[in-house]
Structure 1
Amino acid sequence: MKIMRPLGAIGIVASAALVLTACGSDPAANKSSSNSASAPAATGTAQVDCGGKSPLSGEGSTAQDKAVEIFKQQYGKKCQGQQVNYTASGSGAGVKQFNANQVDFGGSDSPITGADAEAAQKRCGAEAWNIPLVVGPVAVAYNLKGVDKLTLTPTVIAKIFNGGIKNWNDPAIKAVKGNESLNLPDKPIQVVSRSEESGTTDNFQKYLGAAAKDVWKQGAGKKFNGGVGNGAQGSNGVATAVKAGDGAITYVEGAFAKDGLTPALIDSGSGGVELNAANVAKSLDAAKFLKEGSNDLALDLNAIYASNTPGAYPLLLTTYEIVCSKYSDANVAKAIKAFLTVSATDGQKPLSDKGYVPIPQSLQDKVLTAAKAIA
């Protein structure tokens, strides 16, 4: 795959906490109608009312593709015979297909707002909700021979992605604390971005706008605005492109930042912070919601992006399932409620094996409450 001119990178997905057991695997449970999802405790059980439409259809985020595979498996175990078909085509496509009533739920790496939210409400005949099931960091992932521990500041990352820094031996990179002893080559930085509309791109650009606002003037949005580098399709595409080019860098979900890719440490002012579950959890402690008190659980990440909390990894991405708060077809609503409930409980613990981290207990509680409220 062709690698581009200088550009930048990042990506990963994650979150943190306890996982509970969902019930309903007995075939008879598929026909029950009154089991509701109760707020989980460390040893609690979420009740699942199985049944409804099968297969459910979903489309969108490639960042959550591996996570959705786990959710589908756990859903099938708890609700025997129930299936989900999910197409990983990118967040932009997922939102469009959901709003066009072509799928039962959409997958997006950023919450729907503005015109997209208005279109979703028109499609649903009621408010559409953003339900977070995969939360975590985005990695600035690179491939540079001989350099296995690189630290970058938000300002340096922004300059790489808008073309202000073009070579790996640029003094600005060398000057970052922790890089003083590195042998950085006189080699062009090959920036790889997402070629299609992507929620990962949107989150990355929002982060740069908050953490490096004096440098990043390109704005946010699902389309990459940096003006440098070349694009590749999907998370697998950017990861493959960077692996193929010594000197390449990209933004990609943590589940993909391995096997030839190295996540950079991020120094927001308190020293370089490694991308791992514990450091992500420190950032999540400060998370707030755009609509407090609502079942629309879109997270307000701006405070995290601009934070300087010691030991906290600030570059986070939340993958949402976009659902109707009320469906015209009761069978779809029943299946969606069950799928979300299982995904938020049994579906979480196995995520760590794929490079993700389970959602925090407090967020799990809110997801189960929202799932129960879907009509």
Structure 2
Amino acid sequence: MKYAGRLAAVAVVGALSLAACGTDNNNTAGGSGIASVAPAAGTAGGLSGTINAAGSTAQANAIDEWKKGFQAANPGMSINYQPSGSGAGVQAFIQGTVAFAGSDSALNDQKGESAKADDRCRIGKAVDIPMVIGPVAVAYNLPGVEGLQLSPKTIAGIFSGKIIKWDDPAIKADNPRAQLPSTPIQAFHRSDQSGTNDNFTKFLKTTAPDDWPYETGKVWPAAAGGQGSKGSDGVASSVKSTEGAIGYVEMSFAENSQLQTAKVANGSGEFVALTPESAGKTVETADIKGTGNDLKLAIDYNTKTPGAYPIVLVTYEITCEKGLPADQAKLVKAFLTYTASDQGQASLKDLGYAPLAGGLLTKVRAAIKAIS
């Protein structure tokens, strides 16, 4: 079902607290591999303890921001979030070593991830809860070239190794007024399993199938070549330090590294600059494919909505609707309530994310409320 909404902040839900990142493997209640938690008198929010979580690097900057408000209200509580990549986070959740995973792709039914995650939850289902809209920038390092424009066909040619110099006719066609150098193109991709890989390759496969003959997935197809860097921060760093480089990275990392980003053509052929607002227009056309409180989304990479930027990923928080130890369920629910609050979502826009809004936000809050 479709949802609509404007990019806006949302109603305040309560502030809690969060502390430093890590991967502590603490003793658990119920053998979950997650630290047990007991309420503590005297803390501002009445919560104390530790939760382990892991996954998407795309939301790492959001997690860091959320820590500030969350920790202020509950100084006795900490959440250790390890930005290990979406694939690693999902596996850690399935294995029961984290209370929730951050993933830039929803659990994959065909690859058995959903069934394995349900087995981990035992008495309930695992749910995909969208929490962070992370526009994916096509970032480049080409001194003297401002406002680069790239069509999906050209982007596919670059990342498949067919287009190897910046003055290639395909790039010239996208940029008829630009003075393009003959500098060799250095294309960087994520070397680790990631939802960013999954979303970017789905974009290429959907919008330029003749120029992207490879499969989609969290693992970059080796046959496509290019140079690998670990994590979103690794790709951003590689592009920043390499003249002639190009890579795909979440908008927040591109902004933090002060990288130039290309305008990308959407399904109507309109070249659109990346902003939270232009990314939000694409998310507004997404279909909700999950059932009940499982909110898997299908992004329309070929969107023809005027002013819509087409390369968008959504980071999900994956957890058990039912099945976590009671103390863990309480803290996960509390933390996600904060991240979906007015305060939590409003803090994202300045970081290069697009806040949740409209009907999707209403469903996200309902899914969080159902955690027990």
Flag whether TM exceeds 0.5 (same fold): yes
Change (3 A) 1:136 1:63: closer
Moved more, 256-265 or 317-326: 256-265
Look up the SS of the partner of 1:334 in the other structure: helix
Q: 1:202 aligns with which of 198, 215, 219?
A: 198
For the pair 1:120 / 2:111, whether they are aligned, the reply is: no
- Contact persistence 2:157–2:212 (CA under 8 A): yes
Q: Which residue of 1 aligns with 2:246?
A: 249
Q: Structure 2 stretches of 5 or more lacking a match?
A: 1-5, 18-38
Look up the SS of the partner of 1:83 in the other structure: strand
Q: Which residue of 1 aligns with 2:69?
A: 74
Alpha-carbon distance, 1:312 to partner:
0.7
Change (3 A) 1:325 1:75: same
Q: Structure 1-normalised TM-score?
A: 0.85
Q: 1:360 aligns with which of 357, 360, 366?
A: 357
Q: Structure 2-normalised TM-score?
A: 0.86
Name the amino acid aligned to 2:130: P
- Contact persistence 2:190–2:230 (CA under 8 A): yes
Look up the SS of the partner of 1:217 in the other structure: coil
- Contact persistence 2:48–2:76 (CA under 8 A): no
Change (3 A) 1:368 1:260: closer
Alpha-carbon distance, 1:93 to partner:
0.8
In structure 2, what is the Cα distance between the partners aligned to 1:31 and 1:352?
33
In structure 2, what is the Cα distance between the partners aligned to 1:24 and 1:343?
9
Higher relative contact order (CA 8 A, sep 6+): 1
Look up the SS of the partner of 2:129 in the other structure: strand
- Contact persistence 1:52–1:334 (CA under 8 A): no
In structure 1, what is the Cα distance between the partners aligned to 2:90 and 2:14?
31
Q: Which residue of 2 aligns with 1:46?
A: none
Q: 2:340 aligns with which of 340, 344, 347?
A: 344
For the pair 1:94 / 2:89, whether they are aligned, the reply is: yes
Look up the SS of the partner of 1:158 in the other structure: helix
- Contact persistence 2:194–2:219 (CA under 8 A): yes
Paired residues in the alignment total 337
In structure 1, what is the Cα distance between the partners aligned to 2:66 and 2:80?
11
Residues 243-275 of structure 1: CA deviation (Å, up to 9, x unaligned): 111100001000011344211101133321000
Residues 153-174 of structure 1: CA deviation (Å, up to 9, x unaligned): 0111111111111111000110
Name the amino acid aligned to 2:89: G
- Contact persistence 2:127–2:321 (CA under 8 A): yes
In structure 1, what is the Cα distance between the partners aligned to 2:56 and 2:302?
25
- Contact persistence 1:201–1:221 (CA under 8 A): yes
Alpha-carbon distance, 1:31 to partner:
8.1
Q: Which residue of 2 aligns with 1:278?
A: 277
- Contact persistence 2:10–2:346 (CA under 8 A): yes
- Contact persistence 1:61–1:198 (CA under 8 A): yes
- Contact persistence 1:16–1:357 (CA under 8 A): yes
- Written as runs of structure 1 = structure 2, the 5 A alignment for 1:149-164 is 149-164=147-162
- Written as runs of structure 1 = structure 2, the 5 A alignment for 1:91-240 is 91-114=86-109, 115-125=112-122, 126-176=124-174, 179-225=175-221, 227-240=224-237
Q: Structure 1 stretches of 5 or more lacking a match?
A: 1-14, 33-49
Look up the SS of the partner of 1:186 in the other structure: coil
Alpha-carbon distance, 1:280 to partner:
1.5
- Contact persistence 2:276–2:349 (CA under 8 A): no
Q: Which residue of 1 aligns with 2:320?
A: 324
Alpha-carbon distance, 1:149 to partner:
0.8
Look up the SS of the partner of 1:175 in the other structure: helix
For the pair 1:22 / 2:19, whether they are aligned, the reply is: no
Q: Which residue of 2 aligns with 1:57?
A: 52
Name the amino acid aligned to 2:274: L
CA RMSD of aligned residues (A): 2.1
In structure 2, what is the Cα distance between the partners aligned to 1:353 and 1:311?
20
In structure 1, what is the Cα distance between the partners aligned to 2:46 and 2:302?
44
Moved more, 333-342 or 320-329: 320-329
